[in-house]
Amino acid sequence: MRHLEWEDLGVKVDGRFLHHLRFADDIVLITPNIEQAERMLAEFDSACGNIGLRLNRTRTMFMKNGPVPDAPFTLNGMVRLLHESSERKEC
């Protein structure tokens, strides 16, 4: 993750870009649009391959929130839509 050049990618939170969250062996990529998500996922997949790891494409999922247009989203033909939410919820 440190070698990926994502300083200007992601969503701006408190003046800094937030582009991923990690927990155990799970990683969430955070992006404002599908094009950026595809770019980041492809770069992450490539970085994993460079160190002998690979993404489990059958378990890789896409989740959208808000008015995201229905557009194809894939990584080498595989990524499924997990959840769709158009409501804004308050915490």
More confident residue, 82 or 48: 48
Q: Is residue 36 part of a domain?
A: yes
What total of structural domains would you count in the chain?
1
CA atoms within 13 A on the CB side of 91: 0
For residue 53, the enclosing domain spans 11-81
Q: Is residue 64 part of a domain?
A: yes
Q: Is residue 29 part of a domain?
A: yes
Q: Is residue 50 part of a domain?
A: yes
Given a cut of 50, whether residue 86 has pLDDT beyond it is no
More confident residue, 3 or 88: 3
More confident residue, 90 or 73: 73
Whole-number pLDDT of residue 52: 93
pLDDT band at 91 (very low <50, low <70, confident <90, very high): very low
Question: CA 6, CA 40: separation in Å to the nearest integer?
Answer: 8
pTM metric for this prediction: 0.69
Q: Is residue 88 part of a domain?
A: no
Q: Is residue 1 part of a domain?
A: no
Q: Is residue 25 part of a domain?
A: yes
Q: Is residue 16 part of a domain?
A: yes
